[in-house]
Amino acid sequence: MSATPQRLVLASTSSYRSELLRRIVADFETCAAAVDEAMHGEEMPLLAAVRLAREKARAGARQHPGCWVIGSDQLADLDGTPLGKPGSIERAHAQLRQCSGRTVAFHTAVCVADGTGGPPVFREAVDTTRVVFRVLDAAEISRYLAIERPLDCAGSFKVERLGVALSERVESNDPTALIGLPLIALCHLLRESGMSIP
């Protein structure tokens, strides 16, 4: 597909990220960024989130040369142990049992590949939100999972819906980060890349 400069592409098929991006930009495209999301050895969750965001932006930039491309990734971090998307009710239940009564750091990384002036220039940022979970019993977890089915959410935590009821408090610099795209950081990166953001 041929590309022209000044187009913005979100390298994600996530409906959460698309909804967030629409808050600041009306016109953009999306594409699937097929990257291997496996952890690299003893890689820390924060570093893995940044690496995966960069890899997604790079994959999107290969598909859409001459554009601004956004890649993003989020990992939940329980004392250095990564909690990714559970994929099944059983794994989600196990994740939330682990999180019960504990503090989980959600690292949300974003990378902008600026290909508008030639080979892409990559700019990235990461926002960390800390969620203090209530002590959860099995029945609460099961009810939450039956209603929300957060199988595509890092750590099985869907803060924009019923997940907020699982927490004691949320410590954040950017309320959009926990949903999946840190808009404050993204606005800075897009401005640095030459895009006009109000």
CATH number where 28 lies: 3.90.950.10
Q: What's the pLDDT tens digit per position in 132-166? A: 999 999 999 999 999 999 998 889 998 888 899 99
- Residue 197, pLDDT score: 87
Chain-centre distance of CA 146, in angstroms? 23
Is residue 61 in a domain?
A: yes
In a domain, 134, yes or no: yes
Q: What is the domain extent for residue 96?
A: 8-192
Considering the domain boundaries, does residue 3 fall inside one? no
pLDDT of res. 5: 44
Mean pLDDT of the chain: 92
Helix (H, G, I), strand (E, B) or coil at 24: coil
Please give the backbone phi and psi of residue 105, each rounded to the nearest 5 degrees, phi first. Answer: -95, 125
Instruction: Answer for the pair 184, 128: CB distance below 8 angstroms, yes or no.
Output: no
Catalytic residues: 73
pTM over 0.75: yes
**pLDDT value for 113:** 98
In the chain, how many domains are there?
1
